[in-house]
Structure 1
Protein backbone atom coordinates (compact mmCIF):
# COMPACT_ATOMS: atom_id res chain seq x y z
CA UNK A 1 0.00 0.00 0.00
CA UNK A 2 1.42 3.36 -1.07
CA UNK A 3 2.07 5.97 1.61
CA UNK A 4 0.19 9.24 1.71
CA UNK A 5 1.99 12.32 0.39
CA UNK A 6 2.36 13.96 3.82
CA UNK A 7 1.65 13.49 7.50
CA UNK A 8 -0.15 16.83 7.56
CA UNK A 9 -3.34 17.28 5.55
CA UNK A 10 -4.95 20.75 5.54
CA UNK A 11 -8.58 20.92 4.44
CA UNK A 12 -9.44 24.25 2.83
CA UNK A 13 -12.47 26.10 1.51
CA UNK A 14 -10.94 28.31 -1.19
CA UNK A 15 -8.16 27.97 -3.79
CA UNK A 16 -6.19 30.82 -2.23
CA UNK A 17 -5.30 28.46 0.62
CA UNK A 18 -3.63 26.10 -1.82
CA UNK A 19 -1.25 28.93 -2.70
CA UNK A 20 -0.74 30.09 0.90
CA UNK A 21 -0.34 26.70 2.55
CA UNK A 22 1.32 25.04 -0.44
CA UNK A 23 3.79 27.87 -0.63
CA UNK A 24 4.60 27.25 3.03
CA UNK A 25 5.36 23.59 2.46
CA UNK A 26 2.06 21.71 2.73
CA UNK A 27 2.10 18.94 0.12
CA UNK A 28 -1.27 17.23 0.66
CA UNK A 29 -4.35 19.50 0.66
CA UNK A 30 -8.06 18.78 0.35
CA UNK A 31 -10.31 21.31 -1.37
CA UNK A 32 -13.77 21.24 0.20
CA UNK A 33 -16.14 23.63 -1.57
CA UNK A 34 -19.81 23.96 -0.63
CA UNK A 35 -22.91 25.62 -2.06
CA UNK A 36 -21.37 27.28 -5.12
CA UNK A 37 -23.05 27.83 -8.50
CA UNK A 38 -21.70 25.36 -11.10
CA UNK A 39 -19.65 27.94 -13.03
CA UNK A 40 -18.03 29.33 -9.90
CA UNK A 41 -17.38 25.84 -8.57
CA UNK A 42 -15.59 24.83 -11.75
CA UNK A 43 -13.57 28.05 -11.81
CA UNK A 44 -12.42 27.63 -8.22
CA UNK A 45 -11.54 23.97 -8.71
CA UNK A 46 -9.51 24.75 -11.83
CA UNK A 47 -7.73 27.62 -10.08
CA UNK A 48 -6.87 25.32 -7.19
CA UNK A 49 -5.46 22.80 -9.67
CA UNK A 50 -3.23 25.46 -11.22
CA UNK A 51 -1.93 26.54 -7.83
CA UNK A 52 -1.38 22.95 -6.76
CA UNK A 53 0.86 22.33 -9.78
CA UNK A 54 2.73 25.57 -9.10
CA UNK A 55 3.44 24.63 -5.48
CA UNK A 56 3.93 20.87 -5.91
CA UNK A 57 0.79 20.04 -3.94
CA UNK A 58 -1.14 16.80 -4.19
CA UNK A 59 -4.70 18.15 -4.34
CA UNK A 60 -7.72 16.16 -3.21
CA UNK A 61 -11.20 17.20 -4.35
CA UNK A 62 -13.97 16.64 -1.84
CA UNK A 63 -17.36 15.33 -3.03
CA UNK A 64 -17.35 16.34 -6.70
CA UNK A 65 -16.19 13.05 -8.19
CA UNK A 66 -17.59 13.74 -11.66
CA UNK A 67 -15.64 16.99 -11.85
CA UNK A 68 -12.58 15.20 -10.51
CA UNK A 69 -12.80 12.70 -13.37
CA UNK A 70 -13.39 15.40 -15.96
CA UNK A 71 -10.50 17.60 -14.79
CA UNK A 72 -8.02 14.81 -14.25
CA UNK A 73 -7.64 14.86 -10.49
CA UNK A 74 -5.30 12.37 -8.84
CA UNK A 75 -7.40 12.13 -5.66
CA UNK A 76 -11.03 12.46 -4.58
CA UNK A 77 -12.51 12.24 -1.08
CA UNK A 78 -16.04 10.99 -0.48
CA UNK A 79 -18.27 11.00 2.57
CA UNK A 80 -20.57 8.10 3.36
CA UNK A 81 -23.53 9.89 1.79
CA UNK A 82 -21.55 10.33 -1.44
CA UNK A 83 -21.12 6.57 -1.74
CA UNK A 84 -24.85 6.25 -2.45
CA UNK A 85 -24.52 8.05 -5.77
CA UNK A 86 -20.85 7.93 -6.77
CA UNK A 87 -19.80 5.76 -9.69
CA UNK A 88 -16.93 4.01 -7.94
CA UNK A 89 -16.12 1.92 -10.99
CA UNK A 90 -15.59 5.02 -13.12
CA UNK A 91 -13.49 6.62 -10.40
CA UNK A 92 -11.25 3.56 -10.21
CA UNK A 93 -11.10 3.11 -14.00
CA UNK A 94 -9.72 6.61 -14.43
CA UNK A 95 -6.98 5.90 -11.90
CA UNK A 96 -8.19 8.41 -9.33
CA UNK A 97 -7.20 7.49 -5.80
CA UNK A 98 -10.02 7.45 -3.28
CA UNK A 99 -10.34 8.52 0.35
CA UNK A 100 -13.50 7.76 2.35
CA UNK A 101 -14.81 9.17 5.64
CA UNK A 102 -15.78 6.77 8.42
CA UNK A 103 -17.30 7.28 11.86
CA UNK A 104 -18.19 3.82 13.12
CA UNK A 105 -17.66 0.12 12.39
CA UNK A 106 -20.55 -0.12 9.95
CA UNK A 107 -19.20 2.76 7.89
CA UNK A 108 -15.69 1.35 8.02
CA UNK A 109 -16.90 -2.01 6.75
CA UNK A 110 -18.74 -0.28 3.92
CA UNK A 111 -15.72 1.85 3.06
CA UNK A 112 -13.42 -1.16 2.90
CA UNK A 113 -15.67 -2.85 0.34
CA UNK A 114 -14.95 0.14 -1.93
CA UNK A 115 -11.20 -0.59 -1.83
CA UNK A 116 -10.18 2.95 -0.90
CA UNK A 117 -6.65 4.31 -0.90
CA UNK A 118 -7.17 5.69 2.60
CA UNK A 119 -9.90 5.85 5.20
CA UNK A 120 -10.48 8.85 7.44
CA UNK A 121 -11.77 8.55 11.01
CA UNK A 122 -13.45 11.39 12.85
CA UNK A 123 -14.23 13.44 14.64
CA UNK A 124 -11.35 12.57 16.97
CA UNK A 125 -12.29 15.53 19.16
CA UNK A 126 -15.38 17.72 19.17
CA UNK A 127 -15.62 20.00 16.16
CA UNK A 128 -17.83 23.04 15.67
CA UNK A 129 -17.29 23.34 11.92
CA UNK A 130 -20.28 21.24 11.03
CA UNK A 131 -23.04 19.37 12.80
CA UNK A 132 -21.95 15.79 13.38
CA UNK A 133 -24.16 12.77 13.97
CA UNK A 134 -21.26 11.13 15.81
CA UNK A 135 -19.55 12.17 19.01
CA UNK A 136 -15.79 12.44 19.51
CA UNK A 137 -14.01 9.18 18.78
CA UNK A 138 -10.84 9.71 20.79
CA UNK A 139 -7.33 8.70 19.77
CA UNK A 140 -7.87 5.14 21.04
CA UNK A 141 -10.24 4.57 18.13
CA UNK A 142 -7.38 5.37 15.73
CA UNK A 143 -5.43 2.47 17.24
CA UNK A 144 -8.49 0.25 16.83
CA UNK A 145 -8.91 1.27 13.18
CA UNK A 146 -5.21 0.68 12.56
CA UNK A 147 -5.51 -2.93 13.75
CA UNK A 148 -8.56 -3.52 11.56
CA UNK A 149 -7.29 -1.98 8.32
CA UNK A 150 -3.70 -3.17 8.48
CA UNK A 151 -1.42 -1.29 6.11
CA UNK A 152 -4.18 0.80 4.52
CA UNK A 153 -3.43 4.50 5.14
CA UNK A 154 -5.43 6.11 7.95
CA UNK A 155 -6.30 9.81 8.26
CA UNK A 156 -7.38 11.44 11.53
CA UNK A 157 -9.73 14.44 11.39
CA UNK A 158 -11.95 16.48 13.66
CA UNK A 159 -11.02 19.01 16.33
CA UNK A 160 -7.31 18.47 15.81
CA UNK A 161 -4.83 21.18 16.74
CA UNK A 162 -1.06 21.42 16.60
CA UNK A 163 -0.91 20.26 20.21
CA UNK A 164 -3.06 17.21 19.48
CA UNK A 165 -1.52 16.20 16.17
CA UNK A 166 1.34 14.09 17.49
CA UNK A 167 -0.95 11.94 19.65
CA UNK A 168 -2.91 11.02 16.51
CA UNK A 169 0.23 9.91 14.68
CA UNK A 170 1.38 7.93 17.69
CA UNK A 171 -2.04 6.25 17.93
CA UNK A 172 -1.80 4.94 14.38
CA UNK A 173 -2.77 7.70 11.95
CA UNK A 174 -0.61 8.09 8.85
CA UNK A 175 -1.78 11.64 8.24
CA UNK A 176 -3.64 14.24 10.28
CA UNK A 177 -6.23 16.53 8.70
CA UNK A 178 -7.39 19.87 10.07
CA UNK A 179 -9.35 22.88 8.90
CA UNK A 180 -9.47 25.64 11.52
CA UNK A 181 -5.94 25.12 12.80
CA UNK A 182 -4.65 26.12 9.37
CA UNK A 183 -7.09 28.53 7.75
CA UNK A 184 -8.04 30.07 11.10
CA UNK A 185 -4.46 30.61 12.24
CA UNK A 186 -3.08 34.13 12.71
CA UNK A 187 -0.04 33.11 10.66
CA UNK A 188 -1.04 30.19 8.42
CA UNK A 189 2.41 29.85 6.85
CA UNK A 190 4.06 29.59 10.25
CA UNK A 191 1.41 27.10 11.31
CA UNK A 192 2.34 24.82 8.42
CA UNK A 193 5.99 25.03 9.46
CA UNK A 194 5.10 24.15 13.05
CA UNK A 195 2.97 21.17 11.99
CA UNK A 196 5.71 19.87 9.70
CA UNK A 197 8.30 20.21 12.44
CA UNK A 198 6.15 18.42 15.02
CA UNK A 199 5.35 15.61 12.58
CA UNK A 200 9.04 14.69 12.51
CA UNK A 201 9.36 14.38 16.30
CA UNK A 202 9.81 11.12 18.22
CA UNK A 203 10.98 9.25 15.13
CA UNK A 204 7.51 9.55 13.57
CA UNK A 205 8.69 10.67 10.16
Structure 2
Protein backbone atom coordinates (compact mmCIF):
# COMPACT_ATOMS: atom_id res chain seq x y z
CA UNK A 1 0.00 0.00 0.00
CA UNK A 2 0.98 3.61 -0.48
CA UNK A 3 0.66 6.16 2.30
CA UNK A 4 0.37 9.88 1.78
CA UNK A 5 3.72 11.38 2.82
CA UNK A 6 1.99 13.91 5.11
CA UNK A 7 0.54 12.11 8.14
CA UNK A 8 -1.28 14.45 10.49
CA UNK A 9 -2.02 13.33 14.06
CA UNK A 10 -4.60 15.22 16.14
CA UNK A 11 -6.61 14.66 19.29
CA UNK A 12 -10.12 15.76 18.28
CA UNK A 13 -12.67 15.68 15.52
CA UNK A 14 -12.65 19.48 15.71
CA UNK A 15 -9.03 19.55 14.52
CA UNK A 16 -9.94 17.18 11.70
CA UNK A 17 -12.87 19.35 10.68
CA UNK A 18 -10.57 22.39 10.66
CA UNK A 19 -7.49 21.00 8.93
CA UNK A 20 -8.57 18.15 6.63
CA UNK A 21 -10.40 20.48 4.20
CA UNK A 22 -7.06 22.23 3.57
CA UNK A 23 -5.91 19.16 1.65
CA UNK A 24 -4.88 16.61 4.29
CA UNK A 25 -5.10 13.06 2.88
CA UNK A 26 -4.05 10.99 5.92
CA UNK A 27 -4.98 11.76 9.53
CA UNK A 28 -4.85 9.87 12.80
CA UNK A 29 -7.33 10.54 15.57
CA UNK A 30 -5.39 9.97 18.79
CA UNK A 31 -7.52 10.52 21.87
CA UNK A 32 -6.55 9.61 25.41
CA UNK A 33 -8.84 9.24 28.41
CA UNK A 34 -12.36 9.82 27.14
CA UNK A 35 -15.56 7.97 27.99
CA UNK A 36 -16.82 5.61 25.35
CA UNK A 37 -19.91 7.54 24.27
CA UNK A 38 -17.90 10.72 23.70
CA UNK A 39 -15.16 8.76 21.96
CA UNK A 40 -17.64 7.18 19.56
CA UNK A 41 -19.07 10.60 18.79
CA UNK A 42 -15.57 11.90 18.01
CA UNK A 43 -14.81 8.95 15.74
CA UNK A 44 -18.11 9.32 13.91
CA UNK A 45 -17.57 13.05 13.35
CA UNK A 46 -14.00 12.50 12.20
CA UNK A 47 -15.06 9.71 9.89
CA UNK A 48 -17.76 11.87 8.29
CA UNK A 49 -15.34 14.76 7.70
CA UNK A 50 -12.72 12.46 6.19
CA UNK A 51 -15.31 10.81 3.93
CA UNK A 52 -16.37 14.21 2.59
CA UNK A 53 -12.82 15.23 1.78
CA UNK A 54 -11.26 11.99 0.54
CA UNK A 55 -8.99 11.67 3.58
CA UNK A 56 -7.86 8.36 5.12
CA UNK A 57 -8.78 8.20 8.82
CA UNK A 58 -6.65 6.14 11.20
CA UNK A 59 -8.01 5.49 14.71
CA UNK A 60 -5.39 5.21 17.44
CA UNK A 61 -5.64 2.46 20.08
CA UNK A 62 -9.39 1.78 20.14
CA UNK A 63 -9.49 -1.14 17.75
CA UNK A 64 -12.72 -2.67 19.06
CA UNK A 65 -14.60 0.60 18.67
CA UNK A 66 -12.97 1.18 15.29
CA UNK A 67 -14.34 -2.17 14.12
CA UNK A 68 -17.80 -1.46 15.54
CA UNK A 69 -17.91 2.00 13.98
CA UNK A 70 -16.99 0.69 10.55
CA UNK A 71 -13.57 2.32 10.39
CA UNK A 72 -10.95 0.85 8.09
CA UNK A 73 -7.60 1.71 9.68
CA UNK A 74 -6.21 1.45 13.21
CA UNK A 75 -2.82 2.30 14.72
CA UNK A 76 -1.49 0.56 17.81
CA UNK A 77 1.42 1.16 20.13
CA UNK A 78 3.30 -1.80 21.50
CA UNK A 79 1.28 -2.06 24.71
CA UNK A 80 -1.96 -1.85 22.78
CA UNK A 81 -0.70 -4.45 20.31
CA UNK A 82 0.03 -6.87 23.14
CA UNK A 83 -3.58 -6.62 24.30
CA UNK A 84 -5.21 -6.50 20.86
CA UNK A 85 -6.84 -9.28 18.88
CA UNK A 86 -4.99 -8.84 15.59
CA UNK A 87 -7.03 -11.65 14.07
CA UNK A 88 -10.26 -9.77 14.80
CA UNK A 89 -8.79 -6.60 13.32
CA UNK A 90 -7.87 -8.49 10.14
CA UNK A 91 -11.18 -10.33 9.90
CA UNK A 92 -12.95 -6.97 10.05
CA UNK A 93 -10.84 -5.84 7.09
CA UNK A 94 -8.99 -3.07 8.91
CA UNK A 95 -5.51 -1.96 7.94
CA UNK A 96 -3.00 -1.85 10.78
CA UNK A 97 -0.15 0.51 11.60
CA UNK A 98 2.28 -0.16 14.45
CA UNK A 99 4.71 1.96 16.47
CA UNK A 100 8.31 0.86 17.04
CA UNK A 101 11.23 2.34 18.98
CA UNK A 102 13.86 -0.43 19.06
CA UNK A 103 14.75 -3.74 17.41
CA UNK A 104 12.72 -5.88 19.81
CA UNK A 105 9.61 -3.81 19.13
CA UNK A 106 10.26 -4.00 15.40
CA UNK A 107 10.40 -7.81 15.54
CA UNK A 108 7.11 -7.83 17.47
CA UNK A 109 5.55 -5.45 14.96
CA UNK A 110 6.67 -7.36 11.89
CA UNK A 111 5.33 -10.62 13.35
CA UNK A 112 1.86 -9.00 13.34
CA UNK A 113 2.18 -8.33 9.58
CA UNK A 114 1.18 -4.64 9.70
CA UNK A 115 0.37 -2.40 6.75
CA UNK A 116 2.98 0.14 7.85
CA UNK A 117 5.56 0.59 10.59
CA UNK A 118 6.26 3.85 12.45
CA UNK A 119 9.65 4.75 13.92
CA UNK A 120 10.23 7.44 16.49
CA UNK A 121 11.20 9.75 17.88
CA UNK A 122 13.45 10.80 15.00
CA UNK A 123 14.29 14.09 16.71
CA UNK A 124 13.68 15.28 20.28
CA UNK A 125 9.95 15.74 20.87
CA UNK A 126 7.99 17.77 23.39
CA UNK A 127 4.82 15.73 23.04
CA UNK A 128 5.55 13.17 25.72
CA UNK A 129 8.41 11.92 27.84
CA UNK A 130 10.21 9.23 25.87
CA UNK A 131 12.47 6.56 27.30
CA UNK A 132 14.15 6.33 23.89
CA UNK A 133 16.82 8.71 22.67
CA UNK A 134 16.19 10.42 19.33
CA UNK A 135 16.64 7.81 16.60
CA UNK A 136 18.28 10.00 13.97
CA UNK A 137 18.28 9.73 10.20
CA UNK A 138 20.59 6.72 9.96
CA UNK A 139 18.07 4.67 11.95
CA UNK A 140 15.41 5.56 9.37
CA UNK A 141 17.60 4.08 6.65
CA UNK A 142 18.23 0.94 8.74
CA UNK A 143 14.52 0.52 9.54
CA UNK A 144 13.56 0.95 5.90
CA UNK A 145 15.89 -1.91 4.92
CA UNK A 146 14.34 -4.08 7.63
CA UNK A 147 10.66 -3.34 6.90
CA UNK A 148 10.76 -3.05 3.11
CA UNK A 149 8.44 -3.32 1.20
CA UNK A 150 6.18 -2.01 3.99
CA UNK A 151 5.81 1.77 4.21
CA UNK A 152 7.84 3.42 6.98
CA UNK A 153 6.46 6.42 8.87
CA UNK A 154 8.85 8.72 10.72
CA UNK A 155 7.60 10.60 13.77
CA UNK A 156 9.02 12.88 16.43
CA UNK A 157 10.24 16.45 16.23
CA UNK A 158 9.61 16.77 12.50
CA UNK A 159 9.23 20.10 10.74
CA UNK A 160 8.95 21.02 7.05
CA UNK A 161 12.62 22.00 7.16
CA UNK A 162 13.63 18.49 8.28
CA UNK A 163 11.56 16.56 5.74
CA UNK A 164 14.14 16.25 2.97
CA UNK A 165 16.52 14.32 5.24
CA UNK A 166 13.73 12.08 6.50
CA UNK A 167 12.50 11.13 3.02
CA UNK A 168 15.98 10.85 1.51
CA UNK A 169 16.84 8.29 4.21
CA UNK A 170 13.91 6.09 3.22
CA UNK A 171 10.80 7.23 5.08
CA UNK A 172 7.56 6.98 3.13
CA UNK A 173 5.57 9.19 5.47
CA UNK A 174 6.25 11.93 8.02
CA UNK A 175 3.91 12.18 11.00
CA UNK A 176 3.36 15.46 12.80
CA UNK A 177 1.54 16.56 15.93
CA UNK A 178 2.83 19.58 17.82
CA UNK A 179 4.52 21.39 14.93
CA UNK A 180 1.01 22.05 13.67
CA UNK A 181 -1.30 21.94 16.70
CA UNK A 182 0.95 24.20 18.81
CA UNK A 183 1.76 26.54 15.95
CA UNK A 184 0.49 30.11 16.17
CA UNK A 185 -1.26 29.55 12.81
CA UNK A 186 -2.07 25.84 12.46
CA UNK A 187 -3.89 26.35 9.15
CA UNK A 188 -0.92 28.07 7.51
CA UNK A 189 1.47 25.50 8.95
CA UNK A 190 -0.67 22.67 7.57
CA UNK A 191 -0.47 24.25 4.12
CA UNK A 192 3.32 24.45 4.52
CA UNK A 193 3.45 20.73 5.30
CA UNK A 194 1.26 19.87 2.32
CA UNK A 195 3.50 21.91 0.03
CA UNK A 196 6.69 20.53 1.57
CA UNK A 197 5.61 16.88 1.13
CA UNK A 198 4.17 17.33 -2.36
CA UNK A 199 7.38 16.23 -4.10
CA UNK A 200 7.17 12.80 -2.40
CA UNK A 201 3.47 12.33 -3.14
Residues paired across the two proteins, number: 201
What's the RMSD between the two structures over aligned residues? 1.1
Unaligned segments of structure 1, at least 5 residues = none
**Alpha-carbon shift at residue 147 of structure 1 (Å):** 0.9
Unaligned segments of structure 2, at least 5 residues = none
Which of residues 79, 97, 102 in structure 2 aligns to 1:104?
Answer: 102
Paired residues for 1:73-152 under 5 Å:
73-152=71-150
User: CA-to-partner distance for each residue in 1:56-113, whole Å, 9 max, x for gaps?
Assistant: 2110000000001101111100000011110000001111000000000110011000
Output the CA distance in 2 between the equivalents of 1:83 and 1:135: 22
Which residue number corresponds to residue 3 of structure 1? 2
Output the CA distance in 2 between the equivalents of 1:150 and 1:58: 22
TM-score normalised according to structure 1 size: 0.94
Which residue number corresponds to residue 51 of structure 1? 49
Which moves more between the two structures, 119-128 or 184-193?
Answer: 184-193
Which residue number corresponds to residue 162 of structure 1? 160
Which of residues 182, 185, 189 in structure 1 aligns to 2:183?
Answer: 185
**Alpha-carbon shift at residue 166 of structure 1 (Å):** 2.1
Output the CA distance in 1 between the equivalents of 2:153 and 2:33: 25
Which residue number corresponds to residue 26 of structure 1? 24
User: CA-to-partner distance for each residue in 1:104-144, whole Å, 9 max, x for gaps?
Assistant: 01100110000000000000011121121211000110000
Contact 1:155–1:173 (CA under 8 A) maintained in structure 2: yes
TM-score normalised according to structure 2 size: 0.96
Which residue number corresponds to residue 60 of structure 2? 62
